[in-house]
Chain A
Amino acid sequence: MNKINELFSKDLKVINMGLESFHKDLKSQDVDSIQMNWRPTAGGNEKMMALLARLKTKK
């Protein structure tokens, strides 16, 4: 069975990244959902993002 059909046979467990109203809607229907306090990597600080990325490169 592929992963999508596997999904169809399970309870939906959601992570919501972004608009909190989507999470609240799910909660109000008793759906298992958690809300992330998402923020861009390094708060969007491009210099820091570049530094982190450099440490992740393979050499």
Chain B
Amino acid sequence: MQDLIKKANKQALENLQKAQPTLIGIGVALKDIPNMDKKTILHAGPPITWDNMSGPLKGAVIGGLIYEGLASNEAEARTLAASGEIKFEPCHHHNTVGPMAGVVTSSMPVWIIENKAFGNLAYCTLNEGLGKVLRYGAFSEEVIERLNWIEKTLAPVLTAALKLRGDIDLKSMIAQVVQMGDEGHNRNKAGTSLFIREMAPYIVLVDFSNEEKADVLKFMHSNDHFFLNLTMPACKAAIDPNANIKYSTIVSIMARNGTEFGIKVSGLGDRWFTAPAEIIDGLFFPGYDKEDANPDIGDSVITETTGIGGFAMATAPAIVQFVGGTPQDAIQYTTSMYEITEEESNAYKMPTMNFRGTPTGIDIQKVIETQILPIINTGIAHKDPGVGQVGAGIVRPPMKCFEDALEAFVELMASEGMID
């Protein structure tokens, strides 16, 4: 049995190492995301009903409905959301990922990433910036206005610029930013800067007013996390070929919807293994504390699933206050992740670790055996809709997800007569 598992896991890692996530353009959710329709709202994490959604996710859904013109105010939106007329589905069921609430509605522009090694696609919305934003559950007028601006100005300008620029190889770009102090989840400063550098020469050439072009550049510049929404679908595109590899014990998805944490395992195909999401132990912005925090939320943990984010903490000394304060602590965190992963990344190398590749490919057997849970860097959302981010920190998935997955895997193997 172990031989089969080893072989399958090796295959999974080979897929991951071979992946070539590439930015090929910007599309529209309805048109580009598979099986999308006007009454469908995608959200982060495993499946969830309206009733069970936490504050920020409900807020984002309300905002989404208003943005789409399906409702004109909060009350209408709530009624509609509860009516059963709207379909709620995980982004992950549509080759998509969304940060925090992760709400995607039909009119939203989305990045399109192609994994050139396999030809599969992945999608993600454009990052809205900081403060009051939809992904943290805000739905006030300014939020909707910004969404409209993204649709009407940001996306068209970038689409045009991208056409001039051509495809952008995100794998080598992420490899660079990992060497520039980004871990790809909580720090995206280097990535955002690099992306602006790549795009600026083409943005100035496109046929829009100077004011619009300046607004686009300013918008990207004012938001350190702009690149996160490219890193995430790049990771998604890279790991999707592992969605169903028989006998593999490698984790293919980790995601949270603000109520539950869910994982999928390659050898178990489409099954989610969920458990209540945890409250994040982190640093809170002044005026907020643990009481204000929503349980863990967002698809951004796809970064850790593919071996960056918290797994690459050692490369991001600038944000070590999240993990205890010293660069040494960060190195300890990264080092511990090698104990539960299958390989070291052949592309993402960390200078502080003597250019060792990031720990990549979580094996559920190793997690259970060592009791070391994956480490996740993440932002913390306020539990009430519309307040926004209240802090950042680290969190680990519930052990139960991995225990249930292991049990299911053993049962499956037994039912197939592979083991006693």
Contact of B410 among A45, A51, A59 (CB under 8 A): A51
Q: List, in ascending order, chain A residues with CB within 8 A of B418's CB.
A: 59
Q: Are B371 and A55 neighbours in the complex by a CB distance under 8 Å?
A: no
Q: Are A54 and B2 neighbours in the complex by a CB distance under 8 Å?
A: no
Q: Are A54 and B414 neighbours in the complex by a CB distance under 8 Å?
A: yes
**For the complex, what is the distance from the CA of A25 to the CA of B413, rounded to whole Å?**
47
In the complex, how many angstroms separate the beta carbon of A1 from the nearest chain B beta carbon? 34
Contact of B369 among A42, A47, A57, A59 (CB under 8 A): A42
Q: Residue B193 at the A interface, CB < 8 A?
A: no
Which of A41, A42, A55 gathers most chain B CB within 10 Å? A55
Q: Residue A17 at the B interface, CB < 8 A?
A: no
Q: Residue B291 at the A interface, CB < 8 A?
A: no
26 contacts between A and B (CB under 8 A): A39-B371, A41-B369, A42-B368, A42-B371, A45-B403, A47-B407, A48-B368, A48-B403, A48-B406, A51-B406, A51-B410, A52-B365, A52-B368, A54-B410, A54-B414, A54-B419, A55-B2, A55-B410, A55-B413, A55-B419, A56-B2, A57-B1, A57-B419, A57-B420, A58-B1, A59-B1
Q: List, in ascending order, chain A residues with CB within 8 A of B410's CB.
A: 51, 54-55
In the complex, how many angstroms separate the beta carbon of A55 from the nearest chain B beta carbon? 6
Prevailing SS type, chain A contact patch: helix
Interface residues of chain A, those whose CB is within 8 Å of chain B, are 39, 41-43, 45, 47-48, 51-52, 54-59
**For the complex, what is the distance from the CA of A47 to the CA of B403, rounded to whole Å?**
9
Q: List, in ascending order, chain A residues with CB within 8 A of B5's CB.
A: 55
| B: contact size bracket | 10 to 19
Interface residues of chain B, those whose CB is within 8 Å of chain A, are 1-2, 5, 365, 368-371, 403, 406-407, 409-410, 413-414, 418-420
Q: Are A52 and B420 neighbours in the complex by a CB distance under 8 Å?
A: no
**For the complex, what is the distance from the CA of A52 to the CA of B369, rounded to whole Å?**
8
Q: Are A43 and B420 neighbours in the complex by a CB distance under 8 Å?
A: no
Q: Which chain A residue has the least Cβ–Cβ distance from B411?
A: A51
Contact of B420 among A45, A47, A48, A54 (CB under 8 A): A54
Starting from the known contacts A54-B419, A56-B2, 20 additional A-B residue pairs (CB-CB under 8 Å) come to A42-B368, A42-B369, A48-B368, A48-B406, A51-B406, A51-B407, A52-B365, A52-B368, A52-B369, A54-B413, A55-B1, A55-B5, A55-B409, A55-B410, A56-B1, A57-B1, A57-B419, A58-B1, A59-B1, A59-B418
